[in-house]
Structure 1
Amino acid sequence: MSYVKPSDLITTMIDAGESKIFMSTRDTVVRAAMAGALLSLAAAFAVTVSVTTGIPLAGAILFPVGFILLYLLGYDLLTGVFVLTPLALLDKRPGVTVRGVLRNWGLVFVGNFIGAFTVAVLMAIVVTFGFAIPPNEVGVAIGHIGEGRTLGYAEHGAAGMLTLFVRGMLCNWMVSIGVAGAMMAKDVPGKVIVMWMPIMLFFFMGFEHSIVNMFLFPSGLLLGAEFTILDYLVWNEIPTVLGNLVGGLLFTALPLYVTHARTKAPSNAAVLPTVDDIARIESGIRN
């Protein structure tokens, strides 16, 4: 059977979270950097497909290829460790501490940003012929995304901030299901199918993913979009990170842990007789 049952899945997720907490600094940063780079390249690909075809759904359908590749290669996204490492803490694994969880989050954040920013620079070179000409239509589209998802939220004030935070929550609800999906099947086709669906959904719905934004917004700034670094941090990245954290924990990690890792038999559950009980009953009948 390729399918991994939820009761076994949650154990696998806890084990994965524990291993990431104890991973070396070098391995954590390198894996996170490669994850950020692959996801950013997939985002650039999706935007290119959407612009050149005029069909946004086509870009959303193809975007998950980056997510799938990075998880098959064992790389890490911040949105994934937001879900996995707290599970090891909840399960009270030996040596797992809040400090260890925060250390992992910090290293993965740095690594993801390094990878995403590297691809942002490389793609800016591609769409401007080494900054020799104005950005092509793909570069212009990336710039508009950055403006719409910073200044667009800022125009609505508190309501815009709430919307941004909720979009971050909904995003990591889907992304964390994709992370679980990488462990939900034992063969590559099964993993691909389970990961593909929620990632396609979040991208097409325009939810906010902190790592994708680490590529899109620096790209926009490099290509002359009209928003600032402060706009990016206050009106996107920071609320998105917080929304991703809350969404992944609230909608994926806690429900799976409570209902599968910590499930108890109801108090009125029937108790099956033991071998000794049966022997005593048979003895009584004979007597």
Structure 2
Amino acid sequence: MSTAAQNRQLTPADIRARKGGPPIVCLTAYTTPVAKLADPACDLVLVGDSVGMVLHGLPSTLGVTMEMMILHGQAVARGLRRALMVVDMPFGSYEESPEQALRNAARLMRETGAAAVKLEGGGAMAETIRFLTRRSIPVLAHVGLTPQAIHTLGGYKVQGRGADRARVLADARAVAEAGAFGAVLEKVPAALADEITGEIDIPTIGIGASAGCDGQILVVDDMLGLFAEFRPKFVKRYAHLAEDAERAIATYAAEVRARTFPAQEHIFADEAGV
């Protein structure tokens, strides 16, 4: 592969072509600095509506607006050179009709530079996914636990156990047949996730699913230990930055109160160069 090909930004078609190949590495990002950190290692960066809970203190993703997604999408775009950027469609921006979804998806892509959008839902959203993909809007689907539907699902529960298995499998089949270039599987039993991965012809991206999925995604603040309000079972903490930050802030406060900061090396003299 040429250097130019290696350095170009990935596309939905590139991710689609990774089915059954090397695992696809995905993370969320909401800011330019985090996007710059994620870009060299990740294949796909999602501007997730989880931003509402992680950065804005909302109790769920339901309060996230188009304006919030556009603002954070623009910030993330400034930090990416290689990874594919996908932006979440917020609650209420696509469910009414395929036409509504097209208007809002086009706006997200136009105003952020995203190459694709993500929306939640399986069979019920198949018509919308088909409508969008036939009109040059690449769609990443999301089945299993869909956080925008927590009130109908009864909370953040594992989906696809027992009699519910057939529903989740049917949802995955439906979004693949409708033209999605990939499907996020959230909080789905590992055996079911493996069955879906083996059956559908688009990549599966697991989050609380199976190591056998075609890729994995985590909320970046979860895996860095920055968001400490709660910790889902599927999250592995690769760092503990909230604890580090808490200690650093406490040390800073103590030094300010003791007048040991700023020290001589942090202040300016009357004469230049001193």
TM-score normalised to structure 1 length: 0.26
Q: Larger relative CO (CA 8 A, sep 6+): 1 or 2?
A: 1
TM-score normalised to structure 2 length: 0.27
Which structure: larger Rg? 1
